[in-house]
Chain A
């Protein structure tokens, strides 16, 4: 096995006992990038120079005993988290030249844990999309089938992990943008509880839904990443001062007697039969290992998509108002007056999907429509949250498919936004309720495409997700495959 194919915990071991060096690990990752990046296009920008010097520093730290938990571990960052001095585009033309003078809190945390940043990963423009096709910088391809999408919006982060172009990565999830690409790329992806990981420096899409989380090759790595990422941040008002456990301690703990809620609303017609079968097999594995399935209901599920597509665009329409050509980013080359500058800058700077959502959101907040749309959606959101509160009285964990289908073809849904939106149908409710959710690989289709299933838990119960995911991972004995690139 090549170094770039290993997990964080495997590399930690090798780095600790001197079997390899951070520089060698970084080189191995960049060699892989050289070999496959042209086809996969996981990255908007590579940070080789910075990475190599960070790797050298990691080696010094490892030698002097000052190593952090991620010393020498190559990590990719979704291009939505601000990196001081390094262009951060959010996948958009309007920010193609934006260089933040600050680091996102997660970037600071990862850096001080010793992580080596490989580059800025591709994404749907402003995280609006489920396929990474709306990126101004061109789509990312699914490493398992280059004619297919990797999912989105964090498609670059998922593909980079799946293609071994990094060891772990950071994504953000507003309605499934970590879990859906994790499922479609066959990696582990966790969306933490809202308020668990700092949003400071995360370019906002929908502030009440956005949350940063990790992509990893296995569950234990997810726990290692969460140990670094989680925690209160005084720079964010919605950050929560809840105790952060050592997530690694949950890895391998049994789930004897746990009640596994199976929501009937998530096992509906229209789900791809192979996905359905894989999830059913997974349920059997969990039952065999001590879990007891209980039927539960999340009665407001049918409204999730509608509620999401009012609240998220409404917040986005306001969050994206700052991209006006005045202060940074793109400014149209010629305009006769202020209004023309605004219009041309935003017309040239935003892609079609972003514009669509700005229009929807602006409409939903307009005087005369606010009550019927935004206000009503907020009320239904409270009911959706309540559904989960009730459900978690009956079970410890909820299990669902992550996506209704495996990865679809590039271009297949770009002309049909509603079809595209449906690929997040199982992940959106989590963000509306603010609870954590995790996608774990649970097999492959006959055509060799990865399938993912999703675990959901109550607020701040990421530990439970890691616990059950690790039990499943250990006992499912899913064939270890790597994409043929």
Chain B
């Protein structure tokens, strides 16, 4: 039987505000346990939440960037459950009246654009975390993260494969980072994803029973977990079993998902409107103000790169996947006016260096100015492409500018025709047999002479000039 996979994702993104959502404590990651807390985020009696306006504005940015409708009025609700990392015994979230609804983003699926619906985006507070001591039967509570603002972005069940889900997640991540409202760090938990997945026989209209997957802390793991889960569900169905609605945890080490709790064990969160907070009223003027603050988004930038710089769509998507990388590329282009060359160097050597060392473009030793300078030096014939390969290695290692490296190593390309002619003559004289064979029709020997010239000049000869001169002189 052929099956269709149905996936919907719930993404939690930590917002990059300086202070927490309902108090003035710092949102900085790290810090000694409970150092970023106050009576409010410690859940002490009698203290009251006051909404951080920045959180609303950041959430509005994401709503606009995902084509969502921002509700004129939204409100907060309490999600009630007991856990030591939840100091009030409830999480302030949004339930019946979220900030925005009915959005979408576009994915490239096999060359076609596909809309993935976004059901809703809402604001909420993060919980703290528990620290367990192996040598001691106690657990400790660190509430530094309690009250850090989050947005939850809930998709429609529109994805049809784990790869599509991973792609959606990357696009969403890209947008958040472009908006500079989330640092997108999955390992530190500032970008987290839960997935709902089900299968159904191809052609069936009703959805199958879904499972919810948690604990996937990288794009790769999201895809792996989904792939595993789809196979597990198919195996079950094909062997006469049924899928049970439940929450399952991804076990990275084993590469499997395991049941965490069944539907029956699911919490009853007893949501109700939070009486300590008033509805958030968003008027058109506020929306327009936020809309004006939006930067160019990844999709638009990708399209502009293709049309303005005449680079392939693939290159454009690699370059724009990271805002800082795209900024770097554009800076290089601005300085050297050679988009295709800039794209090749950035996507080739620069990214290779960075990937090898797991470095961020923001910390790249090769500045955009230096790279642009190098490209210009190739263009004006000062250095050859081959020399550039060595120079860029040196630039990455030392952070020096190409001109400095060229000067230090005496690497300037020999373009002087008389000097090159002299060298060629010496080589012709030293290799009479090869010369004779060439002249009697063995044209393949042309490469031999090029090699000899390069060897004699330690690679500094301008290849184009060498070609021209050799063609003339070898004929005799």
B78 touches A326 (CB 8 A): no
User: Is A63 at the interface (CB under 8 A from chain B)?
Assistant: no
User: Is A426 at the interface (CB under 8 A from chain B)?
Assistant: no
User: A-contacting residues of B (Cβ < 8 Å)?
Assistant: 39, 42-51, 78, 80, 82, 84, 87-90, 141, 268, 270-272, 275-278
A326–B43 Cα distance when bound, in Å, is 11
A208–B75 Cα distance when bound, in Å, is 15
Could you tell me the distance in whole angstroms from the C-beta of B83 to the nearest C-beta in chain A?
8
B45 touches A82 (CB 8 A): yes
Could you tell me the distance in whole angstroms from the C-beta of B301 to the nearest C-beta in chain A?
39
Indicate with 1 or 0, residue by residue over A35-79, a CB within 8 angstroms of chain B CB atoms: 000000000000000000000000000000000000000000000
A104–B51 Cα distance when bound, in Å, is 19
A residues within 8 A CB of B43? 322, 327
B residues within 8 A CB of A421? none
A324 touches B82 (CB 8 A): yes
Q: A318-B270, A367-B268 are known contacts. Are A202 and B90 too (CB-CB below 8 A)? A: no
A318 touches B278 (CB 8 A): no
Given contacts A238-B276, A327-B141, 14 further A-B contacts (CB under 8 A): A100-B44, A101-B39, A102-B44, A201-B46, A207-B276, A238-B275, A317-B270, A318-B78, A318-B80, A318-B270, A324-B82, A326-B87, A367-B270, A370-B270
A235–B24 Cα distance when bound, in Å, is 11
27 A/B residue pairs, CB under 8 Å, sorted by A: A82-B46, A90-B45, A100-B39, A100-B46, A101-B44, A102-B39, A102-B47, A200-B46, A206-B275, A234-B50, A235-B48, A237-B49, A237-B51, A237-B278, A238-B276, A238-B277, A318-B90, A320-B89, A321-B90, A322-B43, A322-B87, A324-B84, A324-B89, A326-B84, A327-B141, A328-B44, A365-B80
User: B-contacting residues of A (Cβ < 8 Å)?
Assistant: 81-82, 88, 90, 95, 98, 100-102, 104, 199-204, 206-208, 234-238, 314-315, 317-318, 320-324, 326-328, 338, 342, 362, 365-367, 370, 374
A308–B272 Cα distance when bound, in Å, is 16
A342–B42 Cα distance when bound, in Å, is 17
B272 touches A203 (CB 8 A): no
B45 touches A203 (CB 8 A): yes
> Lowest 5 CB-CB distances: which A-B pairs, in order?
A321-B89, A208-B275, A365-B270, A207-B275, A203-B45
Contact partner, A322, options B49, B50, B88, B275, Cβ 8 Å: B88
B residues within 8 A CB of A328? 44
Could you tell me the distance in whole angstroms from the C-beta of B295 to the nearest C-beta in chain A?
31
A residues within 8 A CB of B87? 322, 326-327
Q: A322-B89, A324-B82, A367-B268 are known contacts. Are A237 and B276 too (CB-CB below 8 A)? A: yes
A199–B82 Cα distance when bound, in Å, is 25
Q: A237-B51, A324-B82, A367-B270 are known contacts. Are A315 and B46 too (CB-CB below 8 A)? A: no
A326 touches B45 (CB 8 A): no
Could you tell me the distance in whole angstroms from the C-beta of B133 to the nearest C-beta in chain A?
15
A439–B271 Cα distance when bound, in Å, is 36
B44 touches A365 (CB 8 A): no
B48 touches A104 (CB 8 A): no
Could you tell me the distance in whole angstroms from the C-beta of B292 to the nearest C-beta in chain A?
28
B270 touches A95 (CB 8 A): no
A residues within 8 A CB of B270? 317-318, 362, 365-367, 370
* Nearest B residue to A81, CB-CB: B46
Could you tell me the distance in whole angstroms from the C-beta of A315 to the nearest C-beta in chain B?
6
Could you tell me the distance in whole angstroms from the C-beta of B183 to the nearest C-beta in chain A?
28
A365–B270 Cα distance when bound, in Å, is 5
